[in-house]
Amino acid sequence: MCNFLIHSKTSAMGATVVLLAWACILSVVTAQDEVSICQSLDYRALTRELQNEHQCMILEKLQRDFEADKNSRESLLNDLVRRIDKLSKKISKLRKAKDDEREKPLKFSPALKGVPLIRDCHELLMNGITRSGVYSIKMPLGRILNVWCDMETDNGGWTVIQRRMDGSINFTRLWDDYTFGFGNANSEYWIGNENLYQMTTYYNYTMRIDMYGWDNDHAFAEYGIFFVSSEQNGFQLNIGNYRGTAGDSLNYHNDMKFTTEDRDNDKWFLNCAAKDGAGWWYKNCGYSSLNGLYIRDGNKTISPDGIIKGIIWFHWKWLYNYSLRKTEIKVKPTLAVKIERELFANVDDLPPTQEPPREEVEIEHFEEEVEEEIREEEIEQDLDIQG
């Protein structure tokens, strides 16, 4: 094919030959089965003028094809540019939406539209919101939080700071998580110690713990004094003025700093948080652990190695091996609690707390403490005798 090219290399036709070669290649490509026009005897028999005219026609065709090709490429390119432009707009729109989402304060419930940000659920109640649900509140330093507002219990207006109900949220977490809070206001959460500290600078707060057992039984513990110290002071617990039906399983923990697996502030020679898989104001280790592991069967809180886990409030049932089904720790300004109780006088009835005999109770980690107390008593007696 096209073997005339070899002979014509030495000829003087130069560029024309090159064009002819293109025409030849084109004819070969477009009609492979046919005999090339360049090879045909008819073509060779043409006079020089006719051959030139033929070449001119081919040149024109090549130019036309080239133009058509160029146009189609240009339109393809334009199309591509348009698509890229569209895509980049879409990407920047998505990026902006994501940034907005990040900066946006937590969503208001529909009922809150037009209501300015409030400090706690009691203020919300004062704004006419009477339905329990998730609402946004503002911390003193401007942080916005989603919390569950209990608008039913004891005249309503309670800001829930901890909630356990189904084990959907992992409470085995480290210091930073317990500091800033975790979970979901619709289900289980810990509001965060820093938020607790900030929030309890607003007013004097009363803290109430509602707890539910596996037989739909319910009890509560209330502390007329409640505040948490700053992180510098280990988010120390400050409580007082107990009343309730659940027994006081928190007084023992009063004045304790918060302990997590990575921050041991308890009095035990090991780390109570690491043992219980939770964060709490542990002492040695204590009578309560409401952030403990969620255990579906309330009777399986003692693992095979004998370590007691679970959501514990010892004094309700006088049991360590009973993990609660549901808990809610909530706060409300103490003044509001007092005034509303005087006004509405529908305070919870307080049946006497059931107190089974102590000898049946299994005490956790208290041997050391009891021994210490006995030792102290002995020393005192010795001193008395010496005196």
Contact status: 276 vs Ca ion (CB under 5 A): no
Two tokens, residue 171 = 């409470």
Site mask for Ca ion (CB under 5 A), range 241-270, x = bound: -----------------------x-x-x--
Q: Give the closest residue to 290 by CA, choosing from 337, 322, 261.
A: 322
Quote the least distance from Cβ 261 to Ca ion, whole Å.
11
244: left (phi over 0), alpha (psi -120 to 50) or beta: left
Q: At what angle do helices 15-30 and 48-103 cross, to 10 degrees?
A: 70
CB closer to Ca ion, 177 vs 266: 266
CB of 343 to Ca ion, least distance (A): 46
* CB nearer Ca ion, residue 198 or residue 271: 271
First to last CA, the chain: 129
Query: Which residue's CB is nearer to Ca ion, number 257 or number 332?
Result: 257
Q: How far is the CB of 258 from Ca ion (least distance, A)?
A: 13
* Nearest-approach distance from CB 278 to Ca ion, in angstroms: 14
**At its nearest, how many Å lie between Ca ion and the CB of residue 264?**
4
Give the nearer residue to Ca ion in terms of CB position, either 136 or 260. 260
| Burial bucket for residue 114 (CB in 10 Å: 0-12, 13-18, 19+) | exposed
What does the chain come to in residues? 387
Q: Which residue lies nearer to Ca ion by CB, 257 or 315? A: 257
CA distance 221 to 211: 8
Do 175 and 165 form a contact (C-beta atoms < 8 A)?
Answer: no
153 or 254: CB nearest Ca ion: 254
As measured in angstroms, the least distance from the Cβ of 368 to Ca ion is 12
Nearer to Ca ion, 259 or 334 (CB): 259
Site string for Ca ion, 1-40 (x = CB under 5 A): ----------------------------------------
Least distance to Ca ion, CB of residue 149, Å:
36
Q: Residues 207-246: x/- map of binding to Ca ion (CB under 5 A)?
A: ----------------------------------------
Q: Total residues at the site for Ca ion (CB under 5 A)?
A: 3
What x-and-dash track marks residues 302-341 binding Ca ion by CB under 5 A? ----------------------------------------
Q: Between residues 173 and 326, which has the closer beta carbon with respect to Ca ion? A: 173
Shortest spacing between CB 377 and Ca ion, in angstroms: 24
Build a one-symbol-per-residue string for 55-94: x at contacts with Ca ion by CB under 5 A, - elsewhere.
Answer: ----------------------------------------
**Separation between Cα atoms, residue 375 and residue 194, nearest integer Å:** 38
Contact positions vs Ca ion (CB under 5 A): 264, 266, 268
